[in-house]
Amino acid sequence: MERHCLYIATFLLIFHIVQAQNQTGFISVDCGLPSRESLYNSRPSGLTYTSDADLIKSGKTGRIAKEFEPDVDKPIMTLRYFPDGVRNCYNLKVTRDTNYMIRASFFYGNYDGLSANPNFDFYFGPNLWATVSSNDTVEEIIHVTKTTSLQVCLVKTGLSIPYINSLELRPLRKNMYVTQSGSLKYLFRAYLSSSGRSIRYPDDVYDRKWYPVFARNPWKQVTTTLNVNTSTLYDLPQGVMATAVTPLTENATLNITWTLDPPTTQFYSYVHLAELQTLRANDTREFNMTLNGKYSYGPYSPKALKTETIFDVTPGQCDDGACILQLVKTPRSTLPPLLNAVEAFTVINFPQLETNEDDVFGIKNIQDIYKLNRISWQGDPCVPKTFLWDGLNCNDSDISTPPIITSLDLSSSGLIGNITQAIQNLAHLEKLDLSNNNLVGEIPEFLADINSLLVIDLSRNNLSGSVPPSLLQKKGLKLNVEGNPHLLCTTGSCANKEEGGNKKQSTVVPIVASIISILVLIVALVLFFILKKKKSSSYIRASAEPAIMIKNKRFTYSEVMIMTNNFQRILGKGGFGMVYHGFVNGTEQVAVKMISHSSSQGYKQFKAEVELLLRVHHKDLVSLVGYCDEGENLALIYEYMANGDLKEHMSGAHNRFILNWGTRLKIVIESAQGLEYLHDGCKPPMVHRDVKTTNILLNEQFQAKLADFGLSRSFPIEGESHVSTVVAGTIGYLDPEYYRTNRLTEKSDVYSFGIVLLEVITNQHVIDQSREKPHIAEWVGLMLTKGDINNIMDPSLNQDYDSASVWKAVELAMACMNSSSVRRPSMSQVVAELKECLAYENSRGGASRDIDSKSSIEVSLTFGTEVNPTAR
């Protein structure tokens, strides 16, 4: 007996140790809790909560009214509210590349005695997470961290004062709740029970909160006292899986309904099942799952006392936002369907990248070293622009790369001490102003190592020593050191210049040695190569085309066969020939385009594309990995673009999901930037000549890249505005002026891009003979006379877009297609205009702006047995 009791005691001790260990990685913050009361165990969960005092530098502490305290757990009783400043942010240290469940609680509890209704925004880093407009709100997302820091911000949008009661982060397994893109926002989490008891930690090791739901119509409750095997990827609690429901009527379906707002919102659902009843020899429980009447999964039979989770790896959508998930009995089943628990999440995208990690590290070090307690210096330093830190300028023009800090103005900021080395972390800094402070010590040499620095103002400080020679010799740098009485200047290194009539500033004029002009005679040697004719070859090169001279990145035909595994996997087919999937070095995925012997492109276009792509490099152009030029075997080897071309996605051929308006804008911006580089970044400039949706490719992250440069032409003579050339391109995209005159300019690409933009806006064919106006430009022109943007916009978007953004895009597309090329915008102007369109759309808040978690359960989630469709 004593041994038995000792075993039980030892087991309980181990159990409690394991439970305590399960909190490893948990972050549980009681907002507003005084630091002296930090580290307490909340009952009944046993979770350890800490104060938020070290996580935020602003706000005031409060406590809910006493009459509300009996109804809430201790972490909700206190809160922090923010009467000062527009944006106030928490900074949390997290583990990079970790899948976190992040939960924030907002319980007003009449803490201020005003009985007011809240209305403020809640941001996740630089992106809107939710709008808090209810007195009792819980917001939860599942998100994979990209850095070691995480910021959540409360933003005042009107008279309402933002507040927060608790912040909770729970690390999950990496392969739980995986999405194709974006993060998951909690919609509901329910287990089928009439118990009325909610379940969380320690029963749920991840501290998910499970709410009991039982239909108004009577259902049969099924329970078991036996142990259910829940050791699966999702580690569900025993209390959740030991209960289930079945319809009372044997042939009825088991229905779960919920609503989505807006209707186009994408979602993921997770259905958890385990057979709890002991089936007789002749009994069978088998059912299909349908979503809105369409077959989803099955036939399926739950496993006896063993948990299984059914989910779709791709997100779903519901017509008009009304979702009906049905479990439908199959003809061979003798028992009705059974369900234990279900979860649902909407997809929430956080498109705005956070500021460059090194820049953030640098500016926060500067903030700490100089003890800069500016109310605006919270959250992301650069984005959104509305909350740009005072004294900073940033460059966020490239939406595919993190914003960078380009200017730091700390003039008249009361700085004391030396010039901190933390500044060198701002590697993209162009302007530094530390004037009118009390800085001492020498001017550090590391300032000369910041290559981008053009202006340094150190005037009116107490600096000493001499100006480092490396700064004096830095070309193009403007340095102001006026008003530093102890600073020594070498002869001629510090000079005064009159500026603005009266104001004198001391600038350093770099000492430049005399430059001796040396005339170098360049002897041009022209090499003529005579191509040998191939024996009985059905593929003949034009004798006027010299062989490609660049030898790097060249593969043999046998190497091409190896990399494609003897051309095993076909990616696509075009007029040029077949495209195959392959691997270089066994790891790097590539697309191999084999030039067909009968291809109309021929060797001339092949040679043009190889030579262009070997000399131009840009993130928005498909890069050339290599080529094969061996006899009649010609191949182009590109980087692999996993999501195919834009036209496939617009037509729905690639998958069944609709690209939302924000994603479409991002794609056309990146395509436009690729064209901008060809026009303005290449010397000599290049014209693509075949801009169309099939030549815009998308990688795994849906980053767009311009492809197919076989028809591209350059302007070989500096200053030449056009070339005369045989007309080439694709019907429908072809610039009419170029077609009439044979005069090719970069504005021909602008016209074609305007057609692409209309395709993205309308999702219409470029030429459709069934329309009143067959060509898309003429048809849109006709629709514009009616003044209704909805007649033009792709109807599959269900009007889920910012109308100002769409109008601006339509006007831009029409400007691109002006009949006179000189009146068309440049691609630089096009890029700038499209970024404004995206800014309008992003300011709208996105599709998942405000789906309140509680109302999703209490209002939108219903159950019934009234619908009985036939399973497909």
Please state whether beta strands 455-457 and 478-480 pair in parallel, antiparallel, or not at all (unpaired).
parallel
CA–CA gap between residue 532 and residue 91 (Å, rounded): 69
690 is an active site residue: yes
CA–CA gap between residue 182 and residue 348 (Å, rounded): 6
Question: What is the DSSP-derived secondary structure letter of residue 454?
Answer: -
- Check: CB of residue 658 under 8 Å from CB of residue 806: no
How many Cα atoms sit within 13 Å of 446 on the Cβ side? 10
Q: Is 435 helix (H, G, I), strand (E, B) or coil?
A: coil
CA–CA gap between residue 387 and residue 378 (Å, rounded): 9
CA–CA gap between residue 714 and residue 312 (Å, rounded): 49
- Check: CB of residue 131 under 8 Å from CB of residue 141: no
The residue assigned the tokens 């001391």 is: 506
Q: Which two tokens stand for residue 743?
A: 């005069």
To the question of whether residue 593 is assigned a binding role by annotation, the answer is yes
∠ Cα 198 204 210 (to 5°) = 30
- Check: CB of residue 358 under 8 Å from CB of residue 427: yes
Q: Is 605 helix (H, G, I), strand (E, B) or coil?
A: helix
- 488 Cβ partners below 8 Å, 6+ apart? 464, 465, 466, 467
CA–CA gap between residue 226 and residue 841 (Å, rounded): 54
Q: Is 755 helix (H, G, I), strand (E, B) or coil?
A: helix
- Within 731-815, strands assigned E span 743-744
The residue assigned the tokens 């459709």 is: 768
Q: Which two tokens stand for residue 66?
A: 């006493």
Catalytic residue among 690, 749, 794, 802: 690
Concatenated DSSP letters of 573-586: EETTEEEEEEEETT
The H or E element spanning position 54 is: none
Q: Which two tokens stand for residue 338?
A: 């059974």
CA–CA gap between residue 361 and residue 282 (Å, rounded): 67
Q: Is 685 helix (H, G, I), strand (E, B) or coil?
A: coil
CA–CA gap between residue 702 and residue 151 (Å, rounded): 26
CA–CA gap between residue 195 and residue 3 (Å, rounded): 37
56: amino acid identity, one letter: I
Binding residues: 593
Active site residues: 690
Please state the residue numbers annotated as binding site for ATP: 593
